Amino acid sequence: MRSWRWIAPTLVLTLVVLSYPVLETYWLQVREEEWASPDVPAAWDGKSIVFLTDIHLGAFFSRDRLRRLVDQVNAMQPDLILLGGDYVSNDGDYIEPCFAELARLEAPLGKFGVMGNRDHYISAAATYRHMLLAGIRPADNLGFWVESGGQRIRIGGVGDLWEDTQDLGPVLEGTREKDLLILLSHNPDVAETIRDRRIDLVLSGHTHGGQVVLFGWAPLVPSAYGQKYRTGRVQTDFTTVIISNGIGAAFPPVRLGAPPQIVRLTLRSAR
């Protein structure tokens, strides 16, 4: 009879252990990053940038959750919003509702985004069209000057490493070493191809932080460089890469040791 006393606690513990990876997908964090550099113009000192990536709207990430995400970002009052691709999961029917919600994002200096591999799998044309309708400027293989207080920075992007081409020519056009240039690349492995120090910072997602991480190591990372670009900040010989865990999750829809993230980047002028 004594053994029966342990059945209920054991069942509860088992339920907690099994449900934790699902619950972690809901524990959205705001990851604070700061970028201090002489390339940051004085007028941009203290400006905030929110970076969102890998939303994966679909069966396991609802429109209601996306609506709450947009509300949370707007409450942060960012100056600029950047998006890193993989907006929906596996079904093109989610593209329109996804961007209907993202259209509500508010940032006085604009919204820019690139596509990820899943956006190409599903429909790059539809994604591009709805990005424009949502007021998000597609930045795949393009560069834009963004001005504030009479001073400007460069925002650019490259096409997805797996499903598109990467052309830095338009991104770098007209830029100087002393200009601040932030590059959007869905896949962080692009950093290994960068040989130009004019690119100060690369913002990426794609890896989901490993999605399932055991003792600081993820069994599956969709990168040719193992754990190097799994998450966090990585310094190469030419640039710095900030990799977000992203918002949603690929199948199976679980996370362990890799909670979803909003990245808020604050610029600091180190003159």
- The ranges assigned to domains in the chain are 2-269
pLDDT score, position 137? 98
The pLDDT of residue 251 is 81
Tell me phi and psi for residue 146, to 5 degrees. Answer: -120, 125
| Residues with pLDDT less than 50, the chain | 1, 8-18
DSSP string, 161-177: TTTS----HHHHTT--T
Which residues are CB-contacts of 21 (< 8 A; sequence separation ≥ 6)? 212, 254, 255, 256
Q: What's the predicted TM-score (pTM) here? A: 0.93
Domain 2-269 classification at class level: alpha beta
Contact 85, 186 (CB under 8 A): yes
Residue 250: predicted pLDDT:
84
Q: For residue 4, what pLDDT is reported?
A: 54
Write down the pLDDT at residue 3: 55
